[in-house]
């Protein structure tokens, strides 16, 4: 019986190590592809859409900007005004504010819409009878009302630069660009320097966009639309073979972009076009965002994995696509590694040989982040990269909540779209702790506390029996879960109790609100 238990634990441990090693080596591979394209750009490739520079069109096409929002009273005015001020022919521009709000955001939207209508802009608020399908449902509902040949999408926390459309639309209308389904811009950061938490998130996002997205494009691999700061070709969305916006995953953007690429539409990523956005300042909000992305990505893998594997893409492309869709599996693998280490040590098993492979692969992500920062900030890249140790703790600490999300994604479709609150925090002097949008601490914190104790016990056990080689890895787990607990409690203490978001009044129940001197009931 003991040998069976040992074998079972060794198999689980090996699966965890090999999975994490593949993740690390994949980071090396994408970094190499990014660097190869950066220093040795290909002259021509059937996989690549037209490269810069592209000529400006003689006649600009009609464009609809869609702004899907829900209860965004702090940032919606900033977003609407930024989109209204884009440098684009007014006669060819339409703005749709897809407003599912249940608070005073409704009034702010109405006032800004009336203001810009008075300036001659074709802008309207689109309100649905219910929130069915959440963001995907709102986008699908409003598409028949759109007049544009191309659809630009911005989430509430974005501030697009004035030349956004002038730098994206030419790729979609250029000769040879007819197969482009969408163009994605790089996300920037309005509040990178607000706190160590926002600096860590900025480091991770830069790595994703600058290296991973660019690396996948350079290799000819499929990649995802990131849900915001991009432009879709309308005929691509409406292509019967693509199927339009669908509500059975929480990553409707990833889902649609993969369905489009599976039937022949091409993506294009613009690394030199930055669209700044607000990074979550509350740790609980960051964990909620990551959990939603984890669940939605795994739902997309569950939905499209077989189609990807049976597609006509080359084997390397199919494997890269499956790895991309399953990237959040790293979190249950991290958890698996922690949970199996203690019983293996107590049973006298030495998993050290496996750690050799893991230690080599673990250099992949740090190298990826360093290259991303050097690409963006050649003179001061190391200042941003110095937050890597804290990012490591952050990435380890979220593995419990993300593992729960992965499990939910494997077992179910769709689900509750839990929004990430935005507070319009841009400077260090901005405050958010007293806002009613602030999230309450979650029960998952108890699990994080238990895992912190478990990691500490495992680390102490390792040192007591002389297995010092494993102590640093185990202390990273303890530090990561401890960071979650400490920051959650600290940020909760700074705020005040408030009703949960689910208790907000429905649309049909009048609520008095006031905005810039105007008091109405919505």
The residues assigned a catalytic role are 100, 253
Would residue 412 be called left, alpha or beta, if left means φ above 0 and alpha means ψ between -120 and 50 degrees? Answer: beta
Q: What sections of 207-276 are H helices per DSSP?
A: 214-219, 234-238, 252-262
Neighbours of 433 (CB within 10 A): 14
- Report d(CA 14, CA 308) in Å as an integer: 27
Non-local CB neighbours of 142 within 8 Å, separated by 6+ positions = 66, 96, 98, 126
Please answer whether residues 154 and 67 qualify as being in contact, where contact means their C-beta atoms are separated by less than 8 angstroms. yes
Strand (E) or helix (H) holding 489: helix 471-494
Non-local CB neighbours of 172 within 8 Å, separated by 6+ positions = 150, 180, 183, 231, 233
- Report d(CA 193, CA 197) in Å as an integer: 9
- The CA-to-CA distance between both ends of the chain, in Å, stands at 67
Burial (0-12, 13-18, 19+ Cβ within 10 Å), 383:
exposed
Three-state SS for 34-69 is HHHHHHCCCCCCCCCCCCCCCCCCCCCCCEEEEEEE
In sequence order, what are the beta bridge partners of 185? 270
User: Rounded to whole angstroms, what are the CA distances from 115 to 72, 81, 105, 112, 139?
Assistant: 18, 10, 15, 5, 24
Starting at the earlier edge strand, list the strands of the sheet with 122-126: 122-126, 93-99, 63-69, 150-153, 230-233, 180-189, 266-277
Non-local CB neighbours of 167 within 8 Å, separated by 6+ positions = 270, 273
Side-chain-side CA neighbours of residue 486 (13 Å): 11
- Report d(CA 280, CA 295) in Å as an integer: 19
- Report d(CA 85, CA 75) in Å as an integer: 16
DSSP state of 189: E
């Amino acid at each position: 019986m003991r040998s069976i238990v040992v074998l079972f634990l060794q198999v689980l441990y090996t699966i965890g190590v090999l999975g994490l090693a593949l993740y690390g080596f994949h980071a090396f591979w994408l970094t190499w592809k990014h660097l190869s394209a950066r220093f040795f750009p290909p002259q021509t490739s059937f996989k690549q859409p037209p490269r810069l520079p592209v000529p400006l069109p003689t006649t600009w096409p009609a464009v609809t900007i869609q702004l899907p929002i829900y209860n965004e009273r702090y940032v919606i005015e900033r977003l609407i005004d930024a989109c209204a001020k884009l440098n684009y022919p007014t006669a060819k521009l339409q703005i749709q504010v897809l407003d599912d709000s249940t608070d005073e955001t409704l009034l702010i939207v109405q006032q800004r819409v009336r203001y810009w209508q008075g300036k001659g802009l074709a802008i309207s608020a689109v309100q649905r009878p219910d929130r069915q399908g959440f963001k995907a449902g709102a986008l699908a509902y409003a598409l028949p009302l759109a007049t544009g040949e191309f659809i630009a999408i911005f989430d509430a926390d974005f501030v697009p630069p004035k030349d956004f459309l002038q730098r994206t639309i030419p790729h979609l209308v250029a000769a040879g660009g007819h197969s482009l389904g969408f163009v994605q811009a790089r996300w920037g950061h309005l509040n990178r320097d607000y706190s160590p938490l926002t600096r860590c998130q900025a480091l991770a996002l830069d790595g994703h966009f600058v290296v991973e997205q660019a690396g996948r494009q350079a290799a000819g691999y499929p990649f995802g639309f990131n849900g915001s700061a991009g432009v879709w070709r309308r005929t691509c969305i409406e292509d019967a073979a693509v199927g339009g916006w669908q509500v059975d995953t929480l990553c409707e953007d990833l889902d649609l972009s993969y369905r489009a690429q599976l039937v022949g539409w091409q993506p294009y990523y613009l690394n030199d076009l930055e669209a700044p956005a607000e990074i979550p300042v509350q740790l609980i909000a960051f964990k909620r965002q990551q959990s939603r992305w984890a669940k939605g990505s795994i739902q997309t893998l569950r939905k499209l994995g077989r189609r990807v594997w049976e597609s006509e893409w080359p084997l390397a492309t199919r494997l890269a696509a499956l790895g991309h869709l399953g990237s959040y599996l790293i979190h249950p693998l991290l958890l698996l590694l922690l949970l199996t280490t203690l019983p293996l040590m107590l049973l006298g098993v030495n998993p050290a040989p496996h750690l050799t492979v893991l230690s080599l692969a673990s250099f992949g992500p740090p190298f990826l982040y360093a290259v991303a920062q050097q690409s963006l900030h050649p003179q001061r890249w190391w200042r941003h990269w110095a937050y890597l140790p804290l990012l490591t703790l952050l990435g380890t600490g979220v593995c419990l909540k993300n593992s729960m999300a992965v499990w939910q994604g494997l077992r179910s479709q769709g689900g509750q779209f839990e929004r990430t609150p935005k507070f319009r925090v841009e400077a260090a002097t901005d405050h958010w702790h007293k806002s009613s949008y602030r999230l309450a601490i979650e029960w998952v914190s108890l699990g994080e506390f238990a895992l912190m104790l478990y990691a500490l016990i495992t680390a102490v056990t390792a040192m007591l029996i002389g297995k010092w080689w494993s102590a640093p890895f185990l202390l990273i787990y303890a530090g990561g879960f401890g960071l979650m607990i400490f920051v959650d409690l600290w940020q909760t203490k700074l705020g005040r109790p408030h009703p949960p978001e689910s208790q907000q009044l429905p649309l049909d129940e009048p609520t008095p609100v006031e905005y810039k001197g105007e008091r109405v009931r919505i």
